[in-house]
Amino acid sequence: MSKKIFSGVQPTGNLHLGNYLGAIKNFVDLQKDKDNSCIYCVVDLHAITVKQDPKILKKNIRETTASFLASGLNSSKSIIFNQSKVPSHAEGSWLLSCVARMGWLNRMTQFKEKAGHDKEKASVGLYIYPVLMAADILLYDATHVPVGEDQKQHLELTRDIAQKFNTDFNCSDFLKIPEPLIQKDFSRIMSLRDGTKKMSKSDPSDQSRINITDTKDQIVNKIRKAKTDSKPLSENVSDLEGRPELKNLLGIFSSLQNQDLDVSTKEFAGKNFSELKEKLAEVLVEKIHPISNEINKLLKDYKYIDKILLEGSIKAEKISKKKVSEIKTKIGF
């Protein structure tokens, strides 16, 4: 069955291994299937839900685009653009925010995590971010959305909004109900310093993540220093429970090697962490370093990157403008 794919990444800093394995690697695999039509967005409107330095934001938009291209996305196969160039996203978001319910948004765990203890000081944008995400997806009639496990709840909200709109305006199947595409075993890459916390751009410790742009030495050092426990490596996947750091390192290894977690577990059964770390660092350097080289090459020609984004935004605007216009007709404008 042909799929309409939509997904996005925020230009909020260096992309890390979690973004790559949880999302971008999957984007590239989906692009390989000729039956799929894929749209990948640098979601810069989402980025400004927390304070951004204008100059750094501009640089990050180009860097995220370069990371897409360096990882294997191709603008002749997929639409690649940045959200702020396509006004339909903001317009669609407003229309859908009048359908979404406060109670639904109040349940979003990411808002609670990101707003922290002082919710009063969080931006209104951070609170309604999931509605903008729903507009991003629904304006393109996306059938499938590749995301990491952390975005599952937002995707459920997107489905609820679409269903409510279709019911309220008596137009069943008008907004398409999208399916999440979440990888089975490696959908949540964890911090290298704490296997119970998600690897994330906003973690103050750079040691907690492998950035796509890290040098070979940085990769090797970070893996060498990654937190472990004191037992020998497990014999079976079931023994990984309660050993989050081991599970994470084996998960990263398996994802990079495209092999099941139980195959990797067997490969290192009974060995020491140092052997796993050495092999993992080797594989990471082999897979990630070429991407970082390519990013650096692409960033030397920012006009090329801007051209890709402009061309992508023209294509995206054409599709999403039509859907916004249809939504407005349904509403009664």
Render 2-26 in DSSP notation, one character per residue.
--EEEEEE--SS--BHHHIIIIIHH
**10-18, 161-169, 267-275, 296-304 -> range binding ligand AQP (CB under 6 A):** 10-18
Q: How far is CA 119 from CA 98, 111, 125, 187, 191, in A?
A: 22, 9, 12, 28, 25
* 195 sits near ligand AQP (criterion: CB under 6 A): no
The residue count for binding ligand AQP (CB under 6 A) is: 19
CA triple 43-27-72, angle to 5 deg: 100
**From the CB of 325, what's the least distance to ligand AQP, in Å?**
28
Q: Name residues contacting ligand AQP, limited to 201-220 (CB under 6 A).
A: 201-202
* 193 sits near ligand AQP (criterion: CB under 6 A): no
* 151 sits near ligand AQP (criterion: CB under 6 A): yes
**Annotation marks residue 114 as catalytic:** yes
**From the CB of 175, what's the least distance to ligand AQP, in Å?**
21
Closer Cβ to ligand AQP, 129 or 165, answer by number: 129
**15-23, 87-95, 294-302, 317-325 -> range binding ligand AQP (CB under 6 A):** 15-23
Render 274-313 in DSSP notation, one character per residue.
HHHHHHHHHHHHHHHHHHHHHHHHHHT-HHHHHHHHHHHH
The site map against ligand AQP for 218-247 (x = CB under 6 A) is: ------------------------------
- Per annotation, catalytic residue among 198, 222, 279, 323: 198
**From the CB of 154, what's the least distance to ligand AQP, in Å?**
9
150 exposed, middle or buried (CB, 10 Å; 0-12, 13-18, 19+)? middle
Give the span between the Cα atoms of 168 and 153, in whole angstroms: 22
**Annotation marks residue 231 as catalytic:** no
- Per annotation, catalytic residue among 59, 114, 176, 266: 114
- Per annotation, catalytic residue among 164, 201, 315, 321: 201
Query: How many CB atoms neighbour CB 213 within 10 A?
Result: 21
The site map against ligand AQP for 18-37 (x = CB under 6 A) is: xx--xx--------------
Find the binder of ligand AQP among 12, 14, 88, 143 (CB under 6 A). 12
Closer Cβ to ligand AQP, 162 or 189, answer by number: 189
**Annotation marks residue 201 as catalytic:** yes
Q: Are 42 and 81 in contact, with CB atoms under 8 Å apart?
A: yes
CA triple 20-22-24, angle to 5 deg: 45
Cα atoms in the Cβ-side hemisphere of radius 13 Å centred on 207 = 8
Find the binder of ligand AQP among 154, 188, 227, 323 (CB under 6 A). 188
* 9 sits near ligand AQP (criterion: CB under 6 A): yes
The torsion angle over the Cα atoms of residues 188, 182, 149 and 6, rounded to 10 degrees, is 120
- Please name the residues in contact with 10: beta carbons below 8 A apart, sequence gap of 6 or more: 42, 43, 44, 46, 47, 64
Helix/strand number for the chain, H first, E second: 14, 5
Closer Cβ to ligand AQP, 22 or 130, answer by number: 22
* 133 sits near ligand AQP (criterion: CB under 6 A): no
Question: Using CB under 6 A as the criterion, which residues of the chain lie in contact with ligand AQP when the complex forms?
Answer: 9-10, 12, 18-19, 22-23, 147-148, 150-151, 187-189, 198-202
